[in-house]
Amino acid sequence: MDQQTAYARSGPRPQDQVAFWREQRYDDLECLKARYYRHSYAPHTHDTFAVGVILAGAEAFHYRGVRHVAPAGSLVAVNPDELHDGEAEDESFAYRMFYPSVAMVQRIADELADGEAGFPAFREGVMDDPALAARFVRLHRALECRHPKLAVDEAFTEAMTAMVRRHSHADPRGPRLGRESGAIMRVRRKIDDEFTQDLTLQELASEAGFSRFHLLRAFRRDVGITPHAYLTGRRVAAAKVLLAGPQALSAVALSCGFYDQSHFTRAFKSWTGLTPGQYRRGLSRPDATGRAA
């Protein structure tokens, strides 16, 4: 990189642009449209699938132990409970994302198999399928602009069916969670039950009957993330539920175990790409639009 380019990149970047909404009729499908200049996702997981299209720039992300770069026009997909991060490969990237539930994608796979299919895991994190990518972009825009429901229903069904048929395979292991050892399952349940508490690694290790060092290695191996990352994800998931209600953001933060509203905002955005306020506005405005690409 030459000195002039380095100087240009060191200057102030434009603000990130995001639009978010949820489609209740598709099993509470979350939809995100964003252009990120500044934001980098912390390593995190989803309890849903993530499927989308890179519109501009390129996204770099670590997934399954490999660093991927998804250029404009590519499809991206992440399976539930699999650790990944994300940031701009260069100066920015723009994308449109869907977060379909496991139950919805499983139903599509079962119908394609004309019976009970294995877990429909997507094989690759980045795919070159221009026709399907274009179909997903048109679908996302139709949802955003609230096109007639029947037309959108048909487009959604066709696009998701094509995605499962072309790019998934039957994974008999299913999602990662639920396959961990009994000791790690006890630790996960303790976190699930006490996520508002300021838990220590020693407390969790005692629950498993492990040393702290053994627990950290075993939890990462079985669950895919560290206990702290799992705890943060549990708090973020709880916050999503409360954000649909009337509580002030500061109250939601404290109710979910965050130190204060600033801590809540940082953690929530590092996992979702949205501030809590942006997420709440998306829930109340299903026709949300923004200036992202």
Lowest mean pLDDT among 55-64, 91-100, 107-116, 271-280: 107-116
Asked, for residue 272, whether it belongs to a domain, the answer is yes
Residue range 143-178, pLDDT digits in tens:
999 999 999 999 999 999 999 999 999 887 665 555
Share of the chain above pLDDT 70, in %: 90
User: What contacts 246, CB < 8 A, 6 or more positions away?
Assistant: none
Domain end: 147, 171, 195, which one? 171
Q: 3-state DSSP call for residue 147?
A: coil
Q: How many CA atoms lie within 13 A of 185 on its CB side?
A: 7
Do 32 and 113 lie in one domain? The reply is yes
Query: Cα separation of 233 and 191, whole Å?
Result: 10
Round the CA-based radius of gyration of the chain to a whole number and report it: 20
Asked, for residue 76, whether it belongs to a domain, the answer is yes
Do 9 and 81 lie in one domain? The reply is yes
- CA 153, 51, 72, 292 dihedral sign is positive
Go through 167-202 and write b for each residue having 16 or more CB atoms within 10 A of its CB, e for each that does not: bbeeeeebbbbeebeebbbebbebbeeebeeebebe
Domain end: 118, 141, 171, which one? 171
Do 116 and 9 lie in one domain? The reply is yes
Do 133 and 192 lie in one domain? The reply is no
Asked, for residue 177, whether it belongs to a domain, the answer is no
Do 160 and 190 lie in one domain? The reply is no
Res. 11: pLDDT tops 70 = no
Res. 250: pLDDT tops 60 = yes
- C-alpha distances in Å from residue 130, one per residue of 64, 137, 159, 198, 266: 24, 11, 13, 47, 35
Task: State the pairing for strand pair 75-78/50-63.
Answer: antiparallel
Which CATH number fits the domain that encloses residue 44?
2.60.120.10
Do 12 and 119 lie in one domain? The reply is yes
Asked, for residue 293, whether it belongs to a domain, the answer is no
Asked, for residue 124, whether it belongs to a domain, the answer is yes
Look up tokens 């992202």; give the residue.
292
Domain end: 122, 150, 171, which one? 171
Do 229 and 279 lie in one domain? The reply is yes
Q: What is the pLDDT averaged over residues 252-276?
A: 95
Q: Which residue has the higher pLDDT, 287 or 204?
A: 204
Asked, for residue 104, whether it belongs to a domain, the answer is yes
Per-residue DSSP letters for 188-257? HHHHHHSTTS---HHHHHHHHTS-HHHHHHHHHHHHSS-HHHHHHHHHHHHHHHHHTSS--HHHHHHHTT
Q: 3-state DSSP call for residue 69?
A: strand
Do 188 and 146 lie in one domain? The reply is no
Do 156 and 274 lie in one domain? The reply is no
Determine the structural domain holding residue 13 and report its residue range: 3-171
Query: Cα separation of 269 and 275, whole Å?
Result: 5
Do 23 and 104 lie in one domain? The reply is yes
Q: How many CA atoms lie within 13 A of 101 on its CB side?
A: 11
Res. 1: pLDDT tops 80 = no
Number of domains observed in the structure of the chain = 2
pLDDT for residue 288 = 40
Which CATH number fits the domain that encloses residue 216?
1.10.10.60
Q: pTM (2 decimals)?
A: 0.85
Q: 3-state DSSP call for residue 64?
A: coil
Share of the chain above pLDDT 90, in %: 79
Alpha carbon 167 to chain centroid, angstroms: 19
Do 164 and 199 lie in one domain? The reply is no
Do 36 and 150 lie in one domain? The reply is yes
